[in-house]
Amino acid sequence: MNRARATVRSQAGAAALLVLAISLPSACSAGGPPSIVGKQSLRIGVKADQPGLGLRLPNGRFVGFDVDVARYVAAKLGVSPDHITFVPVTSLTRETALENGSVDMVFATYSITPERETKVAFGGPYYVAHQDTMVRRGETTIHNVHDLKGKRLCAVAGSDSWKRVTQELNIAATLVPATSYSQCVTMLLDHRVDAVSTDDLILAGFANREGPAVRIVNAPFSDERYGIGIKKGDVAACEAVNRAVTAMYLDGTAAALLHKWFGKTGLQLDTHVPQFEGCG
């Protein structure tokens, strides 16, 4: 009888240890940043001055491809549109906004790079764009990125686009600083710069707005993987947004949104599920 009671006690102890083991992952996650999975509302960083991607209208409403993708992903996380607060971010402030908790996620033409991955985590990518160059309509000497040698190139703070031209490709362009691509386009039209080089979706949005005043040279030279910025360490959120992005492509929403915002620009749009980053 004593042996039987000891066996029962041993089995009960083993069951308790099993329950504890099952609960350990959530307990361990308490040591890292709290996950945004399960939140009832979200603050999402988007651009406010990029037509077709993230633009704040005079009435305060945000519109664009990034904004629509953010709404879709948030819905898959269980957050309704009226519980989303869009927060304007710039290329320079995206990491800071995630690190200090001002936003929960960032959808803002946020290319995934090794340097950025040391500061934040990325879900996705939700689209792979390609860097190209935009010039004034009458410009006849710039046909590809190498023609930027000796030209005045707009350089946005916090963006890596100009670095690819002058540092990675070693093209001796003259850099003219700016705070945003919206400012770059204004400077291009005012003849203060000769070219704006960045992701083709960004350029297409501005070209669609400016019409015949500008043209894209259509000579892409890089892959830009647009990631969903998440606070570093939130693996659950990364996995959840990757599932959402997969669903967005499989159910046809991604293709519909791409054609909605860029179908008239002449860009060749990729409607296949991108290859994701790992969630580690």
User: What pLDDT score does 13 carry?
Assistant: 43
Beta-bridge mates of residue 228 = 123
Distance separating alpha carbons of residues 218 and 260, to the nearest angstrom: 21
Distance separating alpha carbons of residues 221 and 223, to the nearest angstrom: 7
CA distances from 60 to 48, 73, 104, 208, 237 (A): 10, 21, 20, 21, 28
Q: Write out pLDDT tens, residues 143-175.
A: 999 999 999 999 999 999 999 999 999 999 999
Kindly tell me if the per-residue pLDDT of 30 is higher than 50. Answer: no
- E-assigned strand segments in the chain: 42-46, 49-50, 54-56, 62-63, 84-88, 105-106, 120-129, 131-136, 152-156, 174-178, 196-199, 214-216, 224-231
Distance separating alpha carbons of residues 260 and 69, to the nearest angstrom: 12
Q: Write out pLDDT tens, residues 70-95.
A: 999 999 999 999 999 999 999 999 99
| Encoded tokens for 31 | 């040591």
End-to-end CA distance of the chain: 51
User: What pLDDT score does 32 carry?
Assistant: 60
Supply the Cα-derived Rg of the chain in whole angstroms.
Answer: 23
Distance separating alpha carbons of residues 174 and 193, to the nearest angstrom: 9
Higher model confidence: residue 5 or residue 111? Answer: 111
Are 122 and 82 in contact, with CB atoms under 8 Å apart? no
Are 73 and 239 in contact, with CB atoms under 8 Å apart? no
Q: Minimal CA–CA distance to 167: which of 182, 181, 180, 153?
A: 153
Distance separating alpha carbons of residues 112 and 42, to the nearest angstrom: 22
User: What pLDDT score does 31 carry?
Assistant: 52
Q: Write out pLDDT tens, residues 178-228.
A: 999 999 999 999 999 999 999 999 999 999 999 999 999 999 999 999 999
Kindly tell me if the per-residue pLDDT of 19 is higher than 50. Answer: no
Are 138 and 226 in contact, with CB atoms under 8 Å apart? no
What domains does the chain contain, in order, with CATH numbers? 42-129+225-262 (3.40.190.10), 131-216 (3.40.190.10)
Q: Which residue has the tokens 């764009």?
A: 129
CB contact set of 237 (below 8 Å; sequence gap of 6+)? 35, 36, 37, 105, 121, 123, 230, 231
The CB density around residue 43, as the number of other CB atoms within 10 Å, is: 16
The CB density around residue 6, as the number of other CB atoms within 10 Å, is: 10
Pairing relation of β-strands 224-231 and 105-106? antiparallel
CA distances from 174 to 39, 149, 159, 197 (A): 46, 8, 16, 13
